[in-house]
């Protein structure tokens, strides 16, 4: 069972990496989240009934873990007002790994709510509305409405970033 699980992780590691990238800015935080997601997947693996696609199942657990992790961290750390920050520096650790357009997109995505981030991530993965609805636990028509609103919001954010 352990070997089968590791094979599934390796086949679908891109899913987990993308979730971690969207929900964590720092490399160390991404690594911690990745480990937490793998742990949650391992705990849930014996009860996986293969009624859904394995990637859909992994997305759902990964997203739920990321959102739960975000909420825990938010409770622990007092928010810092942007005006109190002294010249925020760009995260150079990822700058070399991605094109400028991708970096701007990630910067814009970082400004979305947790649910909006989840919808965008699934959209960028070319998931169908039906798959998104299953993963997010919302109605298929609700996915379309959210996605349209998010696209408009992202457009505005990206314009403000590039100006």
Checking if the pLDDT of 79 tops 80, the result is no
- Claim: this prediction has a pTM higher than 0.85: no
What burial class does residue 162 get, using C-beta atoms within 10 Å of its C-beta: 0-12 exposed, 13-18 middle, 19+ buried? exposed
What burial class does residue 138 get, using C-beta atoms within 10 Å of its C-beta: 0-12 exposed, 13-18 middle, 19+ buried? middle
Hey, what CATH class is 92-163 in? Answer: mainly alpha
Checking if the pLDDT of 80 tops 70, the result is no
Predicted pLDDT of residue 83: 54
What CATH architecture applies to the domain 1-78? Answer: Orthogonal Bundle (1.10)
Checking if the pLDDT of 82 tops 60, the result is no
Residue bearing the bigger pLDDT, 100 or 3: 3
Structure tokens belonging to residue 156: 């505005």
| CATH 1.10.1740.10 in the chain, residue ranges | 1-78
| CATH 1.10.10.10 in the chain, residue ranges | 92-163
Task: Give dist(CA 161, CA 122) in Å, integer.
Answer: 23
> How many CA atoms lie within 13 Å of 105's alpha carbon, on the beta-carbon side?
13
């Amino acid at each position: 069972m352990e070997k089968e699980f590791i094979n599934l992780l390796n086949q679908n590691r891109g899913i987990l990496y993308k979730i971690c990238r969207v929900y964590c800015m720092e490399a160390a935080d991404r690594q911690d989240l990745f480990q937490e997601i793998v742990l949650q997947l391992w705990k849930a693996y014996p009860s996986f009934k293969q009624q859904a696609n394995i990637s859909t199942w992994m997305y759902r657990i990964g997203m739920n873990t990321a959102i739960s992790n975000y909420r825990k961290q938010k409770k622990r750390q007092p928010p810092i007002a942007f005006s109190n920050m002294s010249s925020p520096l760009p995260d150079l650790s990822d700058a070399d790994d991605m094109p400028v357009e991708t970096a701007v997109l990630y910067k814009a995505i970082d400004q979305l709510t947790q649910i909006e981030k989840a919808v965008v991530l699934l959209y960028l993965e070319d998931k169908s509305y039906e798959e998104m609805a299953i993963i997010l636990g919302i109605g298929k028509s609700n996915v379309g409405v959210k996605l349209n609103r998010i696209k408009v919001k992202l457009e505005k954010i990206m314009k403000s970033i590039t100006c």
